Amino acid sequence: MIAFLLKRTANAVFVMLAVALLAFVIFRFFGDPVEMMVNEQASLQDRIELRERLGLNDGFVTQYTRFVTNAVQGDFGVSYRNQQDVMVLIKERFPATFELVLVATVISLVVGIPAGVITAVYRDSRLADMLQLGSIIGVSLPSFVVGILLILAFSVSLGWLPAFGRGETVDIGWWSTGLLTPSGRAALVLPAVSLSTFQVTLVMRLVRAEMLETLRADYIKFARARGVPTRRVQWRHALRNCLMPVITLTGMQIGNLIAFALVTETVFQWPGMGMLFIQAVTFVDLPVMAAYLLIVSFIFVALNTLVDITYAWVDPRLRDDSARGNG
């Protein structure tokens, strides 16, 4: 187990170092940091001094090492656009994205699991067919289109829900939450629903596939034979055994949701990390882009590693890498 743990962690560290290399190359070689930071009037002397001070004359490896060391300590430099510390900017925006992703995940589980069970249990019913069709439509709808259509329906036509912004927020320490005010909750509904559409269908399809397999198992037949009510067998005995893959999927998808939130955030003008990133892209604000890339990839890799380790811990067969095949 320890060997597996070390190997898996080492692998994650390697991947993160590679991502960091990419971020570093973007940061360092696309656009000259000095030109981005000084104003027009700066003299040649100033520029040379700044170049020296930033350590841009050092060797590639030295600079990369410094970049990684700083990044590990949460120092991503200063934004080119508004001269603020990048980490401060991200810290401000992170709660908005986190709450959006959290609520979207909850929606995907609350809607996706029952829908998956229904399509598996009542396989040939009309309801199941409708849900199946709904799921393939859900996969095919781009999330920004869902967002736009939701705005058209619920904000423009009906006027029920706000179409942009976060509403009122309450500060708890450095964390600003929109969950505690009515306007904050109302503002969260449409973005969360539009972000979760894809995830709902994913959960639903997974639960359906797992349920179809589990319902054929002997212990299910036995429970039925013993006289346990059918519904109880389906929703307790069978469903419980399907939840582990769902938890895995949810864990692995959070990184993707954070990345995809940038689309939703753009549609709804949601002041999260994604909006920050898209603005940085339009202004070629490289430090912000590099920081966002590193942070999102870190969350992504950390969750994947965690899921893998949990799996290996639960199921010893997976510890042997060679037995797992390479896929």
Question: How many CB atoms neighbour CB 197 within 10 A?
Answer: 24
C-alpha torsion sign, points 31, 32, 33, 35: negative
Nearer to another protein, 163 or 203 (CB): 163
CB of 139 to another protein, least distance (A): 6
Nearer to another protein, 42 or 278 (CB): 278
Task: Give the largest CA-CA distance in the chain.
Answer: 88
Number of H helices, E strands in the chain: 13, 2
- Which tokens belong to 50? 């700044």
At 285 the three-state DSSP class reads: coil
Alpha-carbon gap, residue 265 to 200, rounded angstroms? 19
Nearer to another protein, 122 or 144 (CB): 144
CB of 246 to another protein, least distance (A): 20
- Which tokens belong to 297? 């990839």
CB of 182 to another protein, least distance (A): 23
Nearer to another protein, 11 or 63 (CB): 11
CB of 18 to another protein, least distance (A): 4
CB of 28 to another protein, least distance (A): 12
Alpha-carbon gap, residue 80 to 86, rounded angstroms? 9
Alpha-carbon gap, residue 264 to 150, rounded angstroms? 12
Nearer to another protein, 235 or 311 (CB): 311
Alpha-carbon gap, residue 54 to 51, rounded angstroms? 5
Residue among 248, 196, 209, 198 nearest 117 (CA): 209
CB of 112 to another protein, least distance (A): 18
Nearer to another protein, 63 or 266 (CB): 266
Binding site for another protein (CB under 8 A): 11, 14-15, 18-19, 22, 26, 30-31, 136-137, 139-145, 148-149, 151-152, 156, 163, 255-256, 258-260, 262-263, 266-267, 278, 281-282, 284, 289, 293, 296-297, 300-301, 304, 325-327
Alpha-carbon gap, residue 11 to 294, rounded angstroms? 16
